[in-house]
Amino acid sequence: MPGDLREGRIVIIGASLAGLRAAETLREEGFTGPLTMVGDEPHPPYDRPPLSKQVLLGKASASATELPTRRDPEAQWRLGVRATGLDPVGKRVLLADGDSLPYDRLLIATGTRARPWPNPEEAALDGVFTLRTSDDADGLAERLAAGPRRVLVIGAGFTGSEIASACRERGIEVTVAERGPAPLVGALGGTLAKLAAGLQRAHGVDLRCGVTVTALHGNGRFTGADLSDGSHIDADVCVVAMGAVRNTEWLADSGLAAGARGVACDAGCRAFNMYGIVTDDIFVAGDAARFPHPLFEYQMLSLEHWGNAVAQAEVAAHNMVNPGPLRRPHLAVPVFWSSQFGLNIKSVGVPTFSDQVVIAQGSLDERRLVMVYGYRGRVTAAVTVNMAKWLEYYERLIETAAPFPPAPGAADRATAAAVPVPSDVPDPKVLSHGPTVALTGYLPDRRLTMVRPV
């Protein structure tokens, strides 16, 4: 072990938001050793949230989303090459081009990829898309610009809903098929899901809930799909928006606690091995990480959030170059946002970790409200719709485990609506979309995180 943590070789696997912010932080913290960034896409780090918004609306090109840097990370870039394996004893990462990279400390930031349509032949039809990469967005934006007769979106999670919103804004007919009872229900629960369903229909979306897509048709080119209710949708474009898969397969033989829910790590972002023993030279950040959170009974959280990628990458990088007593925990409360159908939806905490909800400010009718989520009498999450300026108040309630329902007194709290109702969060198994924040139990053990068949 080198005595000075600011020296030595650091390898970061994953050249997206978390990888880039970690690299910058390492340099800001005084790391002077060689730094290698490995990314499987050929592009330098770019920002993904605009892909389902600005890019699909035709307001920005996918190539425009390359991320600005806070400072030059002075890294060696290995782009367009995948990591295929990890040898934690020999301390080397194996790459798809046959190369292997030695490291003293490693950061895993491989994130997620779009869950593909399960039938590979149907998925290969021209006009069938997923939306995760800038290449995906480029291709889809081009098709939308060409004016398709109808777009079929499979899955009404945040990505699917944003795609549907962009289509409607461009005047394109769109059908959304969702296995669950309503859009966003897996992330936000029943009440806001009803609002989302009403919103979609008011904007002219042909929303079909409680159905699955049983087959995609086409002769080389996508022409339509069959639904489980026996109906058929004619469309030129299909977007499969069925959530994300964590890029952890390359770690299958590494001995790390890596599985479908991510790579388990401690609050300091250090990876666990499959026996639940923490490593001290392998760190994890971003969507690939699964980490314990004290506000949610120390259950392990798996997040797919922009803000978490940044915050966790900064903590991981700090801890990679600082000795034990100076290390920091990653305790940030999860926050995410989505903009769709003219509304700005922001969430803080874990809405699925709830048994009741109450409207604390505003109203559903105005589509301007704060919904507060509680679990066993304490506040665990809040979602604002067009009321983002209040979010930090509720973040503080979550951080202090304030009693639920929250104390009265808000000037714009409608007394009639101030009665808690069940949060109505369904089992994710019955949905086409997953929550982008999930509690995944207490144990880092790999057996608990085996891939569950879809």
Partner 1 sequence: MTADTLLERITDYANRPNPYPLYAELRAAGVARQTDGSYLLGTYHDIVALLHDPRISADPRSRSVPRGDRSEEGLHLPFLRLDDPEHHRLRTLAMRPFGPPHSPGRVDAMRGEIARITEELLEALQGRKQIDVVDDFAYPLPVTVICRLLGVPREDEPLFRAWSDVIVDSADVRPGEATERVRAGQQAHAEMGQYLVDLAERRRGQPTGDMLSAFINEPDPAGQRLTGEELAVTAVLLLIAGHETTVNLITNGVLTLLRHPDQLDRLRREPDLLPRAVEELLRYEPPVHMRERFPLADVDVAGTTIPKGTPMVLVLASANRDPKRFRDPDRFDPARPDNEHVGFGSGIHLCYGAPLARVEAQIALRALIPRLGTARLVQDPPPYRRNAMLRGPRHLPIEF
Partner 2 sequence: MRIVVDLTRCQGYAQCVFLAPEVFELHGEDALLYDPAVPDDQLDRVRQAAAACPVQAILVGEEVSAGAR
Distance CA(110)–CA(183), nearest Å, equals 28
* 231 contact choice in partner 1, partner 2, none (CB below 5 to 8 Å, kind-dependent): none
Phi, psi torsion values for 28, nearest 5 degrees: -60, -30
User: Which residue bears the tokens 């592009």?
Assistant: 43
Residue in 33, 34, 44, 198 binding partner 2, rule: CB under 8 A? 44
Name residues whose C-beta falls within 8 Å of residue 57's C-beta, 6 or more positions apart in sequence: 166, 169, 170
Window contacting partner 2 (CB under 8 A); options: 52-60, 102-110, 183-191, 242-250? 52-60
299/27 Cα distance (integer angstroms) = 32
* Terminal Cα distance for the chain, rounded: 43
Which amino acid type is present at position 299? Q
Collapse the DSSP code of 318 into the 3-class scheme (helix H, G, I; strand E, B; otherwise coil) and give the result: helix
Work out whether 305 is an interface residue with partner 2 (CB under 8 A): yes
Q: Which is nearer to partner 1, 260 or 410 (CB)?
A: 410
Evaluate whether 140 touches 239 at the Cβ level (below 8 Å).
yes
Of the candidate residues 224, 307, 329, 428, the single one contacting partner 2 (CB under 8 A): 307
- Residue 255: exposure state from Cβ atoms within 10 A (0-12, 13-18, ≥19): middle
User: Does the footprint of partner 1 cover residue 392 (CB under 8 A)?
Assistant: yes
Identify the residue among 53, 78, 115, 293 touching partner 2 (CB under 8 A).
Answer: 53
Binding of partner 1 by 28 (CB under 8 A): no
Q: Which is nearer to partner 2, 32 or 69 (CB)?
A: 69
Contact between 147 and 231 under an 8 Å Cβ cutoff? The reply is: no
- Establish if 366 lies at the interface with partner 2 (CB under 8 A): no
Place of tokens 């891939």: 451
Q: Considering CB under 8 A, how many residues would be counted as binding partner 2?
A: 42
Check the CA dihedral 411-413-414-419 and report its sign: negative
For residue 57, the partner it binds in partner 1, partner 2, none, with Cβ less than 5 to 8 A by kind, is partner 2
Nearer to partner 1, 124 or 419 (CB): 419
C-alpha torsion 262→264→268→270, nearest 10? -100
Q: How many CA atoms lie within 13 A of 146 on its CB side?
A: 12
CA 27 and chain centroid, separation: 26
Interface pattern 164-183 for partner 1 (x via CB under 8 A): --------------------
Site for partner 2 contains 54 (CB under 8 A): yes
Q: For partner 2, give the closer residue by CB, 130 or 340.
A: 340
Containing 312, the helix (H) or strand (E) segment is helix 306-320
When asked if residue 312 is in the footprint of partner 1 (CB under 8 A), the reply is no
Q: Which of 132, 413, 433, 446 binds partner 1 (CB under 8 A)?
A: 413
Contact between 409 and partner 1 (CB under 8 A)?
Answer: yes
Number of amino acids touching partner 1 (CB under 8 A): 18
Q: Within 13 A of 66's CA, how many CA atoms are on the CB side?
A: 7
Site for partner 1 in 353-372 (CB under 8 A): 360-362, 366, 368, 370
DSSP letter at 384?
A: E
Taking CB under 8 A as the criterion, the residue among 393, 399, 439, 443 binding partner 1 is 393
* 410 lies in the binding site for partner 1 (CB under 8 A): yes
Looking at the chain, how many residues does it have? 454
411 binds, among partner 1, partner 2, none (CB under 5 to 8 A by kind): partner 1
Q: Which residues here bind partner 2, judged by CB under 8 A?
A: 20, 44-45, 47, 49-50, 53-54, 57, 59-61, 64-70, 72-74, 77, 305-307, 310, 335-337, 339, 341-344, 368, 386-389, 391-392
Q: Which residues here bind partner 1, judged by CB under 8 A?
A: 360-362, 366, 368, 370, 389-390, 392-393, 396, 407-413
